[in-house]
């Protein structure tokens, strides 16, 4: 999942770059992005992006702990894995609550 979220975020970075270029090119180039932004699909995609950012961040911290030699017991691996998922969901919900 860590690698998949990283690949997904790389793709999002490409879309973000295209969005910025479309702004620079003017209204005709930006209008397709504006139409997509006003849909419920964009809200769902943004929730996915925010979740992936938090998941990738928290799981990266988990991997750093592993690099230092902590948390290798099987029970710790499962506990920290679920903590990453729960923390990512919690932070995503908090982000959307405070953003609106």
Answer positive or negative: Cα dihedral of 80, 85, 90, 91. Answer: positive
| Sequence spans of domains, the chain | 2-99
CATH architecture for residues 2-99: Up-down Bundle (1.20)
- pLDDT tens series, the chain, 100 aa: 889 999 999 999 999 999 999 999 999 999 988 888 888 888 899 999 999 999 999 999 999 999 999 988 999 999 999 999 999 999 999 999 999 7
Residue 37 has what pLDDT? Answer: 82
For the stretch 61-87, what's the b/e string if a residue is b when 16 or more beta carbons lie within 10 angstroms of its beta carbon? ebeeeeeeeeeeeeeeeeebeeebeeb
Give 10: exposed, middle or buried? Use CB within 10 Å, 0-12, 13-18, 19+: exposed
User: Residue 54: which of 77, 85, 28 has the closest Cα?
Assistant: 85
100/58 Cα distance (integer angstroms): 24
Q: Report the predicted TM-score, pTM, of the whole model to 2 decimal places.
A: 0.85
């Amino acid at each position: 999942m860590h690698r998949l979220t990283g690949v997904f975020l790389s793709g999002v970075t490409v879309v973000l770059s295209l969005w910025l270029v479309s702004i620079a090119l003017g209204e005709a180039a930006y209008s397709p992005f504006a139409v997509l932004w006003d849909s419920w699909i964009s809200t769902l995609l943004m929730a996915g992006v925010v979740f992936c950012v938090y998941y990738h961040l928290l799981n990266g911290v988990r991997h750093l702990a592993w690099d230092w030699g902590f948390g290798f017991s099987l029970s710790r691996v499962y506990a920290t894995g679920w903590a990453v998922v729960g923390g990512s969901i919690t932070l995503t919900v908090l982000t959307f609550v405070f953003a609106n």
